[in-house]
Amino acid sequence: MKVEIARGVLGQIRALCAADRNEVCGLLLGSAGRIDAITPAANIAPDPSRHFELDPTVLIAAHRAARNGGPAVIGHYHSHPSGVAVPSATDAACAAPDNAYWLIVAGDDARLWIAGPGEGGAVRFAEAKLDMR
């Protein structure tokens, strides 16, 4: 599967991730098959150097805005500052099999994953190709 993303949007995500030693996170906005914008969020995890937890006020506000005609929340992005751009065991444990996009950045590498249903209710991440526009 291919998912379109504007170079500027991906550049913005990469810049935010490069500017922080902790895991950075935020929301992906758009529609199925297309990432149009982001909403950065504070990482409120107890140990932000190893995990991320989106600020719930940002998440709730984005869903409210979507219900009022704003862009849909289609997933989120986060960084793995000292890792690779693949979902970690913690990511899998925290994910829901809801087909949301997970864009993970590690250094210059940015990869997109879709959290779908796996065996026994677990999440199975499938990689999607980022199509730059």
Amino acid sitting at position 8: G
Residue 114 burial (CB count, 10 A)? 19
CB 96 within 8 A of CB 123: yes
At position 46, the amino acid (one-letter code) is P
Q: What is the pLDDT of residues 55-92, one digit of tens each?
A: 999 999 999 999 999 999 999 999 999 889 999 999 99
On the 0-12 / 13-18 / 19+ scale of CB atoms within 10 A, 132 is exposed
pTM of the entire predicted model: 0.94
Q: Which of 35, 31, 43 is nearest to 12 (CA)?
A: 35
Q: What is the DSSP letter of 108?
A: T
Which structure tokens are listed for 66? 């979507």
Q: For residues 124 and 126, what is the distance between their CA atoms, to the nearest angstrom? A: 6
Q: Which CATH number fits domain 2-132: 3.40.50.920, 3.30.420.140, 3.40.140.10, 3.40.50.720?
A: 3.40.140.10
What is the amino acid identity at position 44? I
The owner of tokens 């009022």 is 68
Encode pLDDT of 26-48 as tens digits.
999 999 899 999 999 999 999 99
Residue 132 has pLDDT above 90, yes or no: no
Pairing, β 34-41 against β 2-5: parallel
Distance of CA 57 to the CA centre of its chain: 17
